[in-house]
Each structure stands twice: as C-alpha cells, then as structure tokens.
C-alpha cells in the first residue's frame, strides 16, 4: 500500500508462521478502515488461514477479495459467526460500532481482533470487559503504531532488556495526512470516530503504557482543536495531552492532521523514550530528508551512540503470539487488562480535553 496514504497503509509482510496451514482459520467483518488489510496480512504471515469476509457494502468486500483472492465473501454476518471452523474475527468497522461487533463475535465462541480505537465510550469498555469475563475469549486490539512497526517493536525489546534503564518519560508525535476527499462520511462525525484523542491518540496512550510498564495513569491535561477545517465542524484536527502513570513515568503526546503534501509518507511519526541510563528516538515511517525508509532507531546508552535501521530485521511477533494465545489460553501478546486499560484511558483523555478556539472556530 502507498506510504502516502495512511487510511490504507499496510506494512510489508514478514512471514513467520507459528501454526500449520489450516490450524487457525480466521475471518473479517467490517471493512470501513484500510487497517483491516494490515491486520489480516499480519495474521496470515503468522500462519492463519483467511477463510471468510463480510461487509454490508458489496463493493468493499469485492475490493477486499482482490487483495485476498482465496477468501469467500459471505452474504451476512451470521454466516461468519456460525462457521464452526473460524477461530478469530478481525474487524475494522466504524469505530463506534466495533464494540457491538466484538460482543457478537465473542458470544459465538470466537476470538476478536479490533482495529484501534476499539471503543468510543466508557460504557463500551465496561461491556467488553464483562463479555470477556463471561465468554472467556480474547478481545484483542491492533495498536499498529507500536505492534506493526519494526522500530516500535525493537524499542520495546531495548526497554525490556534494560538498555536505557527505568523509563521516566515517553513523548509521542503522531501527525497524519488528512487527504479529506478520500475519507468516508463517518470520519467527520464525532459520534462515529470519537474524537482525535480517541482515534489516533489511542496509539499514543497504549504505547506510553507499554513502554513505561504502567498499569494505570491519570490525565494531567488535554486539548483539542479544529484549527483549519471549518468545513468539517465535527473534525478535531489537533490534540495533545499529558499523563502521569501509576509508577511515576510521564507522557506527552501530540496528534494532528497537518502532514504537508511534501512529505513522502502519511505522517512523520516520532517517539522519544527517556530512561535512567539512556534514551531512544524512533523515526517510524521516514527519516526526513535523509532516507525514505522508516524503522530508524537511534539510542544512546552507557556504551555509546547507536543508529540502527531495523526495517525487515525485526518482524511483527505480536500476531504469532496472539494466535498462540488464542490456542493456549495465554496472554503473551498483550494482557487483556492492558488492552482495556489503554482503551479506557484514551477515552478519559478525550473526555477531559479542553477545546481550544482557533481563528476558524
């Protein structure tokens, strides 16, 4: 997928199967966001077999089948849910309805992988938690800016290995290209997408919690604005926030829809992690004016200064770990508590946000 188009960007594949062919059939329901391509490809590369797909819009299903020719297009959601072979359903429906789809999926004895943001209200998070407790299935979320980015994966490995000591602060910058004419109507309705701090902010909150090893956090400040898109009154084109984790680590992040046309990718995503014994900078999707390749990791520790290009060298172990979790009843890919806490916090950040009045609003 073109790196200039964030809506349909899917990272290059890294096949690393953890199961034999046919051992883990999957399906897809809800094709409203292009992330579904990367989610399904990640699972396929880990050994899953994509069997079925359903979307109320036949055109979306037909487009999906062009990418995955062996998939069978179903006439209803029930065809997917009632198939006894399907073990997991991936979903990138409109954010506001992902929780309802997930509830139906788990109620039919299948695991669920949602695109981010998985929820738009705290009530949805609560219902999902209760559904997991009742059904005993996994409700997973593909926070792709950490899990489906090799620099993000490698940074986690550095932190886990103690390379920079205890994490004190995470700074995340998540600019995105708006490309408004290509966006669907729901993208501009706040009840559907939830707000910018829920939508693309969900990546930043989850990343902070993961790198900091935090179990919870409180919101110190949050702001949103529609600075330059008065023609879309419900769009928030800017947001930022600060959080403090239960272990004392702090976080600042900024998300926006102001990627200039001259940038070769959909967004210059950056992450900075400060530790007691070093620091890391990630240039996730491009190294501006130096290299078109993303997945650039810069870090400094007690041994010196380091720059690694990890593209094609790390892979995306999350998907294989998720499949094995589904088969073995484990939580190695991501704990259920972390999945839901990250989702809950981005909603709390959104609810706490002060709306800034710009010249157009």
Look at the chain and report how many structural domains it folds into: 2
CA distance 218 to 344: 11
Kindly report, residue by residue over 21-71, the tens digit of the pLDDT: 999 999 999 999 999 999 999 999 999 999 999 999 999 999 999 999 999
* Domain assignment of residue 72, yes or no: yes
Q: pTM for the complete prediction?
A: 0.95
* Domain assignment of residue 275, yes or no: yes
User: Is 176 within 8 Å of 337 (Cβ atoms)?
Assistant: no
Query: Treating both helix axes as pointing N-terminal to C-terminal, what angle do 150-160 and 201-212 enclose, rounded to 10 degrees?
Result: 20
Q: Are residues 151 and 300 in the same domain?
A: yes
| Number of residues that make up the chain | 361
* Domain assignment of residue 130, yes or no: yes
CA distance 15 to 44: 8
Q: How confident is the model at residue 357 (pLDDT cuts 50, 70, 90)?
A: confident
* Domain assignment of residue 96, yes or no: yes
Q: Are residues 75 and 156 in the same domain?
A: no
Q: How confident is the model at residue 1 (pLDDT cuts 50, 70, 90)?
A: very low
Q: How confident is the model at residue 361 (pLDDT cuts 50, 70, 90)?
A: low
Q: Are residues 180 and 289 in the same domain?
A: yes
* Domain assignment of residue 38, yes or no: yes
CA distance 148 to 46: 13
Q: Are residues 158 and 288 in the same domain?
A: yes
Domain that holds residue 232: 146-315+347-356
């Amino acid at each position: 997928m073109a790196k200039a188009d964030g809506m349909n960007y899917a990272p290059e594949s890294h096949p690393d199967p953890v199961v034999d062919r046919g051992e883990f059939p999957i399906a897809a329901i809800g094709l409203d966001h292009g992330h579904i391509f990367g989610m399904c490809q990640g699972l396929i590369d880990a050994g899953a077999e994509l069997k079925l797909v359903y979307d109320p819009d036949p055109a979306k299903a037909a487009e999906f089948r062009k990418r995955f020719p062996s998939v069978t297009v179903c006439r209803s959601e029930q065809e997917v849910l009632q198939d006894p072979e399907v073990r997991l359903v991936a979903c990138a429906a409109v954010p506001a309805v992902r929780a309802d789809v997930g509830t139906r999926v788990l109620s039919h004895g299948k695991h669920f992988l949602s695109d981010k943001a998985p929820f738009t209200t705290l009530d949805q998070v609560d219902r999902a938690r209760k559904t997991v407790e009742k059904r005993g299935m996994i409700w997973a979320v593909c926070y792709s800016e950490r899990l489906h980015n090799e620099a993000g994966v490698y940074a986690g490995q550095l932190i886990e290995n103690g390379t920079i000591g205890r994490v004190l602060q995470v700074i995340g910058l998540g600019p995105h290209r708006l490309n408004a004419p290509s966006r669907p109507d729901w993208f501009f309705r706040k009840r559907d997408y939830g707000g910018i701090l829920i939508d693309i902010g969900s990546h930043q909150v989850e990343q902070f919690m993961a790198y900091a090893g935090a179990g919870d956090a409180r919101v110190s400040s949050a702001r949103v604005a529609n600075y330059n898109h008065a023609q879309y009154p419900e769009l928030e084109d800017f947001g930022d926030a600060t959080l403090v984790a239960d272990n004392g680590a702090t976080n600042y992040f900024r998300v926006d829809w102001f990627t200039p046309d001259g940038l070769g990718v959909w967004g210059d995503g950056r992450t900075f992690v400060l530790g007691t014994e070093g620091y890391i900078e990630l240039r996730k999707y491009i190294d501006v004016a130096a290299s078109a390749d993303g997945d650039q990791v810069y870090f400094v520790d007690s041994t010196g200064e380091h720059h690694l290009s990890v593209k094609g060298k790390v892979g995306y172990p999350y998907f294989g770990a998720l499949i094995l979790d589904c088969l073995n009843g484990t939580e190695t890919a991501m704990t259920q508590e972390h999945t839901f806490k990250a989702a809950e916090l981005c909603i709390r950040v959104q609810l706490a946000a002060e709306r800034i009045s710009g010249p157009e609003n």
